[in-house]
Chain A
């Protein structure tokens, strides 16, 4: 084993049975911390009749009540303001404020101490190091540094690894591309949506080919499913002439998984997190590979506002690959975050995940990067519309493309769509997270 392949070979190659022992020990510790320092957690656990001494085995962990985002919202905006009773440390120890994007409702505030913030960048260091970021890389981060966590911790982790970091903050897309070219950036951290957007702007407005005129060889991505959707990944890697590596994370829990250079799935960072997958309907624990369920996650070492059995609503599945060729023993998930439990819905009685449409659209070369899915109900019947853009040079192929779309969508999703071809450039463009799925049945 070559220790230089890993950020921390001690944890990343620990035998499975030892990882589980470590996880139980660390769960006991964070559970006790939350119980003893947060009124919210103490009440939650007391009401359920469970206290720290009761956690003796993995099965005991399943008895610990889950925390949902709505519960966090209900205690926030109260004293100690604005975090309320989940806060486990005095306010004066908080050095970092961030918040969720509020995609699913009122944003949740996330306080961190300096130690928590170190931990956040530590979890990202595992990611970037596994993705071959090294101290000779010049990393460009085209992200609007602001109240959202997004790539803040990627920035600090790249520094920690020893990379030279170029913050692409308030620059517009064209200025960012020109700056990347000027400084000869070798690595990049951005969302799949923005990577495609940057490539489009580079080609159409600046005459710059990302693969030929820039020096980027590796890209860390996340925040959306795209990095694990094969057609999107292929499109980005070909456009940029670089390897694309995925990871997943969230404001409340931190960055909990990463793809390594072997690219055969995403390693759950089991030294820092406990990931449980459970059946959406029954709550049954899923340990088998290739069976999708909802993730419940615990961050072992983040203390100001602990994340203990957080019901993330992210849909994931274990991989059937037992051991990655990279030598890491951390278990793999397959296909990243497949969607959110809120988005995976039934259309015409068929279980539908929007990410499966992206796989089809991005796999057809005549189509642009953007698309929009709209589900609506007329009377008692669900209808699903897919809006796509045909690249201008392929206008004469519209019939063939339509036929191919119908065929592939039928195979991948088992649904029929109303297809709307839009003029190229008319669908919304996004710079961070996209909103391409609209279910108009909700709230109606």
Chain B
């Protein structure tokens, strides 16, 4: 099972991918081949958030309380 600090690290990496894909869209100049594929990346990133990031504050709360 993942350690709590690894879950936080994973969450940070997920956020980095999200930020990068979003920035990619901003500088794409409207090129559809970039925008549409970045959207697909962002949809997959959302699945990572649902699987991990959404739960991170709940998983790590005990650690914070300790």
Taking Cβ atoms with an 8 Å cutoff, the residues of A that contact B are 1, 3, 8-11, 13-14, 18, 21-22, 25-26, 113-115, 117-119, 122, 271-272, 300-301
Chain A residue, CB-CB nearest to B46: A115
- Which of the four size classes fits the interface of chain B? 10 to 19
- Rounded to whole angstroms, the CA-CA distance of A300 and B46 in the bound complex is 13
- Rounded to whole angstroms, the CA-CA distance of A117 and B40 in the bound complex is 11
Chain A residue, CB-CB nearest to B62: A18
The secondary-structure label for the interface of chain B is helix
A21 and B52 in contact, given A114-B40, A114-B43, A118-B46 (Cβ under 8 angstroms): no
B55 interface contact, C-beta 8 A: yes
When the two chains form their complex, are residues A118 and B58 in contact, meaning their CB atoms are under 8 A apart?
no
Residues of B near A114 (CB, < 8 A) are 39-40, 43
Smallest CB separation, B8 vs chain A (Å): 12
B47 interface contact, C-beta 8 A: yes
Interface string of B31-66 (1 = CB under 8 A from A): 000000001101110110011101100110000000
Given contacts A10-B51, A14-B58, A271-B55, 7 further A-B contacts (CB under 8 A): A10-B7, A11-B51, A14-B55, A25-B58, A114-B43, A115-B43, A119-B46
When the two chains form their complex, are residues B50 and A22 in contact, meaning their CB atoms are under 8 A apart?
no
- Please tell me which one of the listed residues B1, B39, B47, B54 contacts residue A26 in the complex, with CB atoms under 8 A apart: B54
| 28 contacting pairs across A/B (C-beta < 8 A) | A3-B1, A3-B2, A8-B51, A8-B52, A9-B1, A9-B2, A11-B51, A14-B55, A18-B55, A18-B58, A18-B59, A22-B58, A25-B54, A25-B58, A114-B40, A115-B42, A115-B43, A117-B43, A118-B43, A118-B47, A119-B46, A119-B47, A119-B50, A122-B51, A271-B50, A271-B51, A271-B55, A272-B50
- Rounded to whole angstroms, the CA-CA distance of A10 and B53 in the bound complex is 10
- Please tell me which one of the listed residues A13, A22, A122 contacts residue B54 in the complex, with CB atoms under 8 A apart: A22
Chain A residue, CB-CB nearest to B1: A1
- Please tell me which one of the listed residues A3, A14, A26, A118 contacts residue B59 in the complex, with CB atoms under 8 A apart: A14
Smallest CB separation, B63 vs chain A (Å): 12
Residues of B near A10 (CB, < 8 A) are 2, 7, 51-52, 55, 59
Residues of B near A119 (CB, < 8 A) are 46-47, 50
- Rounded to whole angstroms, the CA-CA distance of A201 and B31 in the bound complex is 52
Smallest CB separation, A129 vs chain B (Å): 12
- Rounded to whole angstroms, the CA-CA distance of A1 and B50 in the bound complex is 22
Smallest CB separation, A50 vs chain B (Å): 24
Smallest CB separation, B18 vs chain A (Å): 12
Residues of A near B46 (CB, < 8 A) are 115, 118-119, 301
Smallest CB separation, A370 vs chain B (Å): 41
- Rounded to whole angstroms, the CA-CA distance of A115 and B1 in the bound complex is 28
- Rounded to whole angstroms, the CA-CA distance of A170 and B46 in the bound complex is 34
Residues of A near B59 (CB, < 8 A) are 10, 14, 18
Interface string of B1-29 (1 = CB under 8 A from A): 11000010000000000000000000000
Smallest CB separation, B36 vs chain A (Å): 9
A22 and B47 in contact, given A10-B7, A114-B39, A114-B40 (Cβ under 8 angstroms): no
Residues of A near B39 (CB, < 8 A) are 114
When the two chains form their complex, are residues A22 and B55 in contact, meaning their CB atoms are under 8 A apart?
yes
- Rounded to whole angstroms, the CA-CA distance of A433 and B16 in the bound complex is 45
Q: What are the nearest 5 A-B pairs in CB distance?
A: A115-B43, A118-B43, A8-B51, A21-B58, A122-B47
Residues of B near A18 (CB, < 8 A) are 55, 58-59
- Rounded to whole angstroms, the CA-CA distance of A300 and B51 in the bound complex is 12
Smallest CB separation, A327 vs chain B (Å): 10
Chain A residue, CB-CB nearest to B2: A10
Chain B residue, CB-CB nearest to A116: B43
Chain B residue, CB-CB nearest to A115: B43
